[in-house]
């Protein structure tokens, strides 16, 4: 059965190759083709199809499941397209010196063929994702991560958890690493699990893992809570209170240790303190009726269609620029050229955000950690300044993870479960908070601007934001205090509710 499906996928790909070649000829001749041109084109078409079949098989394009396709599949499709056209031109030149084939035809053929092979896969993936999203309720929440845990502790209880996860976890529990109270253990292995740091460095460790697309959803504490340092306990309380990371007291759950009393008291203190810090849910909580109204607006469907069409065109037009930037990044910071990070998107669903790498290795050859300021090269700084490092996000837009305009996607640890209004729409490559606030305004002001955009999104507003993005890139970011003030005045007039997290707070509890 699998072989039959594989052959069927190959036949469909060959059909796309053939139709793309014909479409290239039609476009090249401006829809005016006589019988002589068709006869001259047929040998080249036959050569193209003949070389395409083995190349498609070698690149394993016939073995991928289109509805689950990803960036790697699209890169292979583009590479296969280039090789098919080069081989067809070479063989055609040997056979009949490309008699009757315009010299510009292969270039146009390659562009149309790449769009066809990639577009068919993207279309099926988008349709599959749309059906999957339609089956989900209109609830905005931060999803629980795959059960990826960070183990805090050292000794027999730590070994017990590792053995239990290996023997009874059935692969459901993924252990990202261990945090040991003793700094001398860093870098060592316990049952093939690496010690990544100490409890005091847990925030840095989680951030570093997040950079590599590994989102820690749970910290398993295999040591009494009150034996940790004051700094470590405070960091753990901050993580649980301000992110979706959960604390799991493994030893105390097993043996009923009374040490949870100190944790409960400290947690209550931390919660009381956090009420006065940063944006609150009652400032950004929109009523259920308002949420239903916003989700039901027809503009979101139009916006998605525009995003997909424009992203596809830009990917084709900017392909030489993308390849050039990838080459420069490979020379500057090495392989891989892409930086991948999981972030919460529409309705809180996580997606992989792609950017070109602008930073070098996090550690020196001697093993010492390099600060972020020392990792960004001059080339990387230029790519960031010109936003060229964000070109791969055109792919995110094409498949529906992002939009051209919307709230910027935050890393999971910065997206509070109490402020989910900004997740009602797809995150954007640029947004109202970027062109009217930038990096110089507070998190609360940015959130207010994002909420204002969600309520007022329209085609004209999106075009205005895109137009404002160009001078922002050229001249730098500037704070528009009038826009910030307008956003806050409107928020205070809304029908708010004190527990915005009702629809998604369970994910962080």
pLDDT of the chain, 509 residues: tens digit per residue:
545 566 888 899 999 999 999 999 999 888 877 777 888 899 999 999 999 999 999 998 887 778 777 777 888 898 899 999 999 999 998 988 888 888 889 999 999 999 899 889 888 888 877 776 665 555 555 544 446 788 898 888 888 888 787 776 655 677 888 998 888 888 887 777 888 889 998 888 887 787 666 778 788 888 887 788 888 888 888 777 666 678 888 766 665 554 444 454 444 444 334 434 444 444 555 666 777 777 778 898 899 999 989 998 898 888 889 989 999 998 888 888 888 877 888 877 778 888 998 887 665 555 566 666 667 888 888 998 888 999 999 999 988 899 999 998 887 666 665 566 778 889 999 999 888 877 777 778 888 888 889 888 999 999 999 999 988 888 877 888 888 888 888 877 664 443 333 333 333 32
Three-state DSSP at 251 gives helix
Q: Is residue 229, in this structure, part of any structural domain at all?
A: yes
pLDDT of residue 108: 92
Beta carbons of 344 and 415 less than 8 angstroms apart:
yes
Domain that holds residue 152: 148-276
Number of domains the chain contains: 3
Which of 109, 134, 159 delimits the end of a domain? 134
d(CA 447, CA 170): 41
Answer yes or no: do 249 and 291 share one domain: no
d(CA 344, CA 363): 28
Which of 224, 242, 276 delimits the end of a domain? 276
pLDDT of residue 87: 95
Which two three-digit tokens encode residue 192? 């093939």
Q: Is residue 453, in this structure, part of any structural domain at all?
A: yes
d(CA 337, CA 346): 26
Answer yes or no: do 291 and 241 share one domain: no
Q: Is residue 355, in this structure, part of any structural domain at all?
A: yes
Looking at the chain, the whole-number percentage of residues with pLDDT higher than 70 is: 78
Beta carbons of 499 and 285 less than 8 angstroms apart:
yes
N- to C-terminal Cα distance for the chain? Answer: 45
Q: What is the CATH number of the domain that holds 234?
A: 3.40.50.20
Beta carbons of 227 and 153 less than 8 angstroms apart:
no
d(CA 313, CA 153): 52
pLDDT of residue 368: 62
Which of 210, 244, 276 delimits the end of a domain? 276
d(CA 339, CA 326): 11
Answer yes or no: do 330 and 199 share one domain: no
Answer yes or no: do 82 and 161 share one domain: no
Answer yes or no: do 177 and 261 share one domain: yes
Residue 124's nearest CA partner among 220, 13, 245, 200 is 13
Largest Cα separation within the chain, whole Å, is 90
d(CA 118, CA 59): 14
d(CA 282, CA 284): 6
Answer yes or no: do 171 and 291 share one domain: no
d(CA 416, CA 413): 7
Answer yes or no: do 310 and 261 share one domain: no
Residue 109 Ramachandran class (φ > 0 left, ψ -120 to 50 alpha, else beta): alpha
pLDDT of residue 161: 84
Beta carbons of 175 and 163 less than 8 angstroms apart:
no
SS (H, E, C) 341-390: EEEECHHHCEEEEEEECCECCCECCCCCECCHHHHECHHHHHHHHHCHHH
pLDDT of residue 190: 79
Answer yes or no: do 234 and 301 share one domain: no
Which two three-digit tokens encode residue 350? 């996580």
Which two three-digit tokens encode residue 66? 């289109």
Q: Is residue 140, in this structure, part of any structural domain at all?
A: no
Query: Burial code of 89-108, b = ≥16 C-beta within 10 A, e = fewer?
Result: bebbeeeeebebbbeebbeb
pLDDT of residue 2: 46
Structure confidence by residue, pLDDT tens digits, 64-109: 778 777 777 888 898 899 999 999 999 998 988 888 888 889 999 9
The pTM of the full predicted model, rounded to 2 decimals, is 0.63
d(CA 498, CA 490): 17
Answer yes or no: do 175 and 98 share one domain: no
Answer yes or no: do 270 and 287 share one domain: no
| CA distances in angstroms from 9 to 12, 53, 57, 165, listed in the order given | 5, 11, 10, 40
């Amino acid at each position: 059965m699998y072989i039959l499906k594989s052959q069927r996928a190959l036949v469909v790909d060959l059909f796309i190759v053939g139709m793309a070649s014909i479409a290239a000829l039609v476009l090249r001749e401006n829809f005016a083709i006589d019988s002589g041109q068709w006869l001259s084109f047929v040998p080249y078409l036959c050569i193209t199809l003949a070389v395409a079949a083995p190349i498609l098989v070698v690149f394993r394009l016939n073995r991928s499941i289109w509805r689950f396709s990803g960036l790697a599949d699209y890169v292979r499709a583009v590479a296969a397209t280039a090789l098919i056209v080069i081989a067809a031109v070479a063989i055609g030149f040997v056979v009949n010196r490309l008699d009757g084939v315009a010299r510009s035809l292969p270039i146009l053929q390659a562009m149309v063929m790449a769009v066809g092979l990639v577009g068919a896969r993207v279309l099926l993936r988008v349709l599959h994702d749309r059906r999957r999203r339609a089956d989900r309720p209109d609830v905005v929440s931060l999803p629980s991560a795959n059960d990826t845990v960070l183990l805090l502790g050292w000794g027999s209880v730590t070994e017990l958890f590792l053995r239990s996860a290996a023997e009874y976890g059935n692969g459901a529990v993924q252990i990202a690493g261990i945090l040991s109270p003793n700094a001398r253990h860093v870098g060592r292995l316990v049952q093939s699990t690496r010690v990544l740091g100490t409890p005091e460095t847990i925030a840095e460790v989680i951030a570093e893992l997040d950079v590599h697309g590994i989102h820690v959803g749970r910290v398993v504490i295999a040591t009494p809570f009150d034996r940790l340092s004051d700094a470590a306990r405070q960091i753990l309380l901050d993580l649980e209170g301000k992110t979706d990371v959960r604390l799991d007291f493994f030893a105390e759950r097993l043996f009923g240790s009374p040490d949870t009393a100190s944790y409960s008291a400290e947690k209550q203190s931390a919660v009381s303190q956090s009420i006065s810090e940063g944006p609150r849910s009652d400032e950004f909580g929109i009523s259920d009726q308002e949420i239903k109204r916003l989700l039901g607006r027809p503009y979101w469907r139009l916006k998605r269609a525009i995003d997909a069409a424009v992203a596809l065109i830009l990917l084709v037009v900017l392909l030489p620029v993308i390849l050039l930037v990838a080459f420069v990044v490979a020379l500057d910071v090495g392989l891989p050229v892409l930086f991948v990070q999981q972030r919460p998107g529409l309705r809180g669903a996580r997606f992989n955000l792609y950017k070109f790498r602008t930073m070098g290795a996090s550690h020196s050859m001697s093993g010492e950690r390099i600060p972020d300021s020392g990792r960004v090269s001059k080339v990387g700084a230029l790519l960031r300044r010109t936003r060229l490092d964000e070109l791969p996000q055109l792919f995110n837009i094409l498949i529906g993870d992002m939009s051209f305009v919307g709230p910027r996607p935050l890393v999971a640890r910065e997206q509070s479960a109490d402020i989910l209004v900004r997740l009602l729409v797809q995150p954007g490559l640029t947004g109202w908070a970027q062109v009217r606030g930038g990096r110089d305004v507070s998190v609360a002001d940015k959130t207010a601007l994002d909420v204002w955009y969600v309520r007022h999104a329209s085609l004209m507003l999106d075009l205005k934001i895109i137009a404002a993005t160009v001078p922002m890139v050229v001249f730098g970011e500037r704070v528009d205090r009038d826009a910030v003030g307008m956003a806050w005045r409107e928020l205070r007039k809304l029908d708010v509710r004190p527990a915005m997290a009702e629809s998604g707070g369970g994910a962080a509890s």
